[in-house]
Amino acid sequence: MSLVQIEHLSKHYGPKQAVTDVSFSIPQGEILGLLGPNGAGKTTTLRILAGFLPPSSGLVRVAGFDVLTQSLEARRHLGYLPENVPLYTEMTVRDFLAFVARARSLGGGRERRAINNALEECRLEDVRETIIGRLSRGYRQRVGLAQAILHDPDVLVLDEPTVGLDPRQITEIRQLIRQLGERRAIILSSHILPEVSMICRRVVIINEGRVVAEDSPDSLVARLTGGERWSLLVRGPRAAVEETLRAQPYVLDVAAQDAGALTRFLVDCRSEEEVGEALAGLVTGHGWGLRELRTASMSLEDVFLRLTTSESHVEEESGEEEAVHARG
Ligand SMILES: Nc1ncnc2c1ncn2[C@@H]1O[C@H](COP(=O)(O)OP(=O)(O)OP(=O)(O)O)[C@@H](O)[C@H]1O
Ligand SMILES: [Mg+2]
């Protein structure tokens, strides 16, 4: 059974349509990435899932319980890390967790055990008596995770869990999320692409409130490109080389960047046999120098841009996009 089930979810704020006909589900043991640019509807979707906001229409279930009609049971199975975690900065970590435990009416012995488990799972034992206001951002985020898992929920909803953290802290939180996800269902939102491709096996991309793609990071890339990208380092007249490349029937797109005295061409090709050989023959056949020829995979960034930008827009910006890709 899926621990999270969202069917045809829509939400409008007055006349503003924020989420439109979104459907997906998450089984136990899976970490799902909800990816989208600012204003895409991520937080809205997650708040509805967490029971903080009623849907305008559609069905949302957590561990089989309807978030509208069985909200208490649904909430009991769900932990939520909001975009901005409301932490009481003057409390110690332990006192804060005790406060949350009481608010969730975990009584007596259960409370102590829950706090100790959360401290251990989020590796907070060393700072349990520290005032939250004195913790680093990374540690504060762990406190946020600890309050989310205090009642040991099956489902975790994490809204941009790594935002504002430095690279080392991001690595640590990522590891922690992976561990927390082993026996739970987790949904985390992000607009940072490498982020979701690193933690999540499946990604739902939303844009302007609608699901535009759902797949594994790898197959999203493969499906969208429907071909292969080659990188060529060529000594030769840039415009002529580009024009020749573009004229080939198996070439879908070409981007050129200066690389010192040479030019790097990123060439998107239809998947056919011997494309590499054909490209090499083409360049050397014109008497140009071929310094390098290799396959270059498209990044999730490219895929994301293509999915969330209209076709014409992609054309206009493709040069810039390639440049970013090449630097990365
Ligand atoms: N309370 C509200 N009243 C009116 N409009 C809202 C409200 N909350 C969000 N919106 C609008 O709904 C849309 C979706 O917002 P949401 O916060 O869900 O996006 P998001 O994907 O989380 O964005 P971000 O990456 O910036 O956090 C946006 O256009 C936003 O302006
Ligand atoms: Mg948001």
DSSP secondary-structure letter at 281?
H
Ligand 1 atom with minimal separation from the 19 CA:
14
Compute, in angstroms, the gap from residue 205 CA to the centroid of ligand 2: 14
Share of the chain above pLDDT 70, in %: 88
- What phi, psi does 324 have (nearest 5°)? -60, -45
Please state the domain extents for the chain.
Answer: 2-221, 223-327
Domain 223-327: assigned CATH number: 3.30.70.100
Residue range 206-225, pLDDT digits in tens: 999 999 888 888 777 666 66
What does each C-alpha distance from 67 to 63, 75, 98, 115 come to in angstroms? 10, 8, 26, 26
> CA 200 to CA 223: how far, in whole Å?
18
What is the identity of the amino acid at 131?
I
- What is the structure's pLDDT at 188? 96
Compute, in angstroms, the gap from residue 23 CA to the centroid of ligand 2: 18
- What phi, psi does 202 have (nearest 5°)? -135, 145
DSSP secondary-structure letter at 191?
S
Cβ 268 vs Cβ 211: under 8 Å: no
Compute, in angstroms, the gap from residue 159 CA to the centroid of ligand 2: 7
Q: What is the DSSP string of 81-118?
A: E-SS----TTSBHHHHHHHHHHHTT--HHHHHHHHHHH
Q: How confident is the model at residue 85 (pLDDT cuts 50, 70, 90)?
A: confident
Strand-pair partners of 157: 80, 187
Ligand 1 atom with minimal separation from the 206 CA:
21
- Residue 303 has which token pair? 């895929």
Whose tokens are 């440049």? That residue is 323
Cβ 190 vs Cβ 110: under 8 Å: no
- CA 28 to chain CA centroid, Å, is 18
**Which residues are near ligand 1 (CB < 6 Å)?**
13, 16, 18, 36, 38-44, 191
Instruction: Identify which of 43-52, 185-194, 195-204 has the greatest average pLDDT.
Output: 43-52
- What phi, psi does 314 have (nearest 5°)? -60, -45
pTM: 0.76
The architecture that CATH gives domain 2-221 is 3-Layer(aba) Sandwich (3.40)
Residue nearest to atom 12 of ligand 1 (CA): 18
